[in-house]
Structures are given as structure tokens and as C-alpha cells.
Amino acid sequence: MSWWTRLVFVVLTLSLGAVRADDSVLMGKMVENRYTAPSGSYSITLPIQLELGGVVTDTKDVVTFQDEFRIHASIACFKMGSSHQREIQTRGRRDFLISFFREQVHTQFKRRFPGAEIDEARYMPEVLGEALLVYNTLPDGSMFSDQTSVSSSQDSVVLVKRGNLLFLKDQHLYVISVELAKFLLGDKDSPKFSEEEKRALLRKELLDLAGRITFL
């Protein structure tokens, strides 16, 4: 297993199958409503409310934020070595980010959720010094298990839409990933969203998360 693959495995293990943790065991620092990564490379204003049941879980490289009714989000931040820097210089940021998501992140998604698909990838040179926005669908890949059970029958597969934002900053690779709970609500009394609406809402949440970050 390559160095990149091990890191991506950690990302997916935490962001898609997190064990909820108490604040006292966080590796990063929490001061009021702001979290600082263990590496000290960034801090972020919390996108959840702890007093309403929001949970923060982290490892050395990844932090996950989740509440029971709105959002599940993870931020991975990896320090890149000289070989990765050379690869970026040779291939360019765009091709590097596309290759990383396709060959590392999506490969792990498919192993965990057979049938996982990339719906759309969009390169945004105007965002965060060049970013890659990726939407994907994961069969039964939701972190909102209670709402999944309500919105589907026992035998049906729930197709879960996620948004992902990848970018490079200060020799670090960032991967932000988001799922929104309201996409799972599909009964007659709940709003239904078109694919275009889902993508727009995920993009908004991803950019909001990125906007909460202060790079240190």
C-alpha cells in the first residue's frame, strides 16, 4: 500500500465511518467554537453547534464535523514531500488533483461502496489558488443512518450524493468532503432536490467550509 493510499484510507475511515469521540481525546485544539489542526497548519470556525449535539472527531491528518440533522463534513490536510512537489511541477496542479482523486480517493470509495461513481468534476482556477470540485454518488454511503432507514425500504439501495473540494496550500494537500442530511428526505412532506440543486447546495457548503479556514 503506497503512502498516498494509506493516507486516503485514513480519510475514508474517519470521514465515512467515524467513531464519535469526546472533546477530551481530540488531537487538535478546541477553543470555544474554533478548531486548530494538530499540525498547526490551519484553524477553522466550527460548522456545527456542539450544544445541539454536534460532534468533532479527529486524527493527526483529518477532522470530521457532524450533527444529527444537517451536515457531515471532513477536512483532510496532508503535508507533501519533495517527490509530490516535483510531480506537481511536472504535471501541473490541475492534472495532479484530478489524478489524486481518481486514483486514490475514488479507488477507496469504490472498495468501500461498490458501484460508487464520479458524477462530475469541475476545475476552478479562481478558487483557492486552483481547486478541483468533484461530486460523487455512493450506494448506501450515508453517515445519517437514522434518516436513511426512514427514507428507504429495507431492500432498497440509497444513493448518497457527496461533494468534494481538493486544493493545494503552503505545501499541503487539502480534501474537504461533505454530505447533507436533507438530501435523504424524500417523503411527501419533505422537499426533493434535483441533481442540479444538490450540486449547487454541496458547492455552497464546500465553499463555506473553505471560507471558515484560516491558514496558519
pLDDT at 81: 86
Tens digits of pLDDT across the chain (216 residues): 454 555 554 455 545 444 444 555 899 999 989 999 999 999 999 999 998 889 999 999 999 999 888 899 999 999 988 888 899 999 999 999 999 999 888 988 888 889 999 999 999 999 999 999 999 998 887 877 655 444 444 557 778 889 999 999 999 999 999 998 877 655 445 557 888 999 999 999 999 999 999 999
Question: 35, 46 in Cβ contact below 8 A?
Answer: yes
pLDDT at 187: 46
CATH topology of domain 3-215: Protein Transport Mog1p; Chain A (3.40.1000)
pLDDT at 21: 44
DSSP the chain: --HHHHHHHHHHHHHHHPPP--GGG-SSEEETTEEE-TTSSEEEE-SS-GGGT-EEEE-SSEEEEE-SSSEEEEEEEEE--HHHHHHHHHH-HHHHHHHHIIIIIHHHHHHHSTT-EEEEEEEETTSTTSEEEEEEEEET--S-HHHHHHHS-TTPPPEEEEEEEEEEETTEEEEEEEEEGGGG--STTS----HHHHHHHHHHHHHHHHHHEEE-
pLDDT at 188: 45
Q: Grid coordinates 478558487 are at which residue?
A: 127
End-to-end CA distance of the chain: 31
Distance (Å) of CA 186 to CA 1, 94, 147, 149, 181 = 40, 36, 10, 12, 11
pLDDT at 162: 92
Amino acid letter, residue 73 = A
Cell of 151: 427514507
| 178 Cβ contact list (under 8 Å, min separation 6) | 71, 72, 73, 162, 163, 164, 202, 205, 206, 209
Q: How many angstroms separate the CA atoms of 140 and 138, rounded?
A: 6
DSSP-assigned beta bridge partners for residue 121:
134
pLDDT at 57: 93
What are the boundaries of each domain within the chain? 3-215
Q: How many angstroms separate the CA atoms of 169 and 180, rounded?
A: 26
Cell of 79: 503535508
Q: What's the whole-model pTM score? A: 0.84
